[in-house]
Amino acid sequence: MTNRPSVSTLAPLTSRYDAFLFAPVYNEASGMALSVVSALARANVDPWEEATRLATMPNAIAERTLAATLDLIPGQNWNPAEAKTIAVRLIRLLPQPDESGPTAVSRTGAQQKSYWWVWLGFAIAIAVLAPRHPAATVDAGIATSQSGTPAVKSLGEGAASPGESDRHP
């Protein structure tokens, strides 16, 4: 395959191209009909990507391109007129560029929904991962001595008044 960007990632596998992809190209020596899918795979070309690409081209260019691609099929010797006739027949099976199918509308709706899900997930992640600062509270009943060790005041047992503990060692 060539090193070009994948069109199939932009246009998911749909039934729009089924008439083209599963149409017979020719009958092999065994009597089995070779479909466009099989022929393109033998030529080392992604069938759905090629169908998408051919559907966007003007018919004359798409016919020449498909005829050239059919020449890549190993073990098949086409004469140019045969390849052209087959290509013309097959290109007629592709949806025309002005035919907007349901996939274009549904893909737009699906993209909008996925954007909302992404933003919702982002908002939830921020809410969960945001640092939480505990409220600063003052603990009643705990006094800190000069050494930094907390000392618990007990009521009635010789509790020292503030500053009194500083006078007695």
Q: Can you list the alpha helix ranges (DSSP code H) found in the chain?
A: 18-21, 36-42, 47-55, 59-70, 80-91, 102-129
Say whether 35 sits in a helix, a strand or coil.
strand
Residue 102: half-sphere exposure toward Cβ, Cα within 13 Å: 2
Residue 1, pLDDT score = 46
State the pTM of this model. 0.51
Residue 135, pLDDT score = 62
Say whether 68 sits in a helix, a strand or coil.
helix
Residue 148, pLDDT score = 52
Residues with Cβ < 8 Å from 130, sequence gap 6 or more? none
Residue 83, pLDDT score = 86
What are the pLDDT tens digits along the chain (169 aa)? 444 545 444 445 567 888 999 999 888 888 888 899 998 998 889 999 999 999 999 999 999 999 998 888 887 777 888 889 999 999 999 987 655 554 444 455 666 677 777 878 878 888 888 777 666 665 665 655 555 555 555 555 555 555 555 555 5
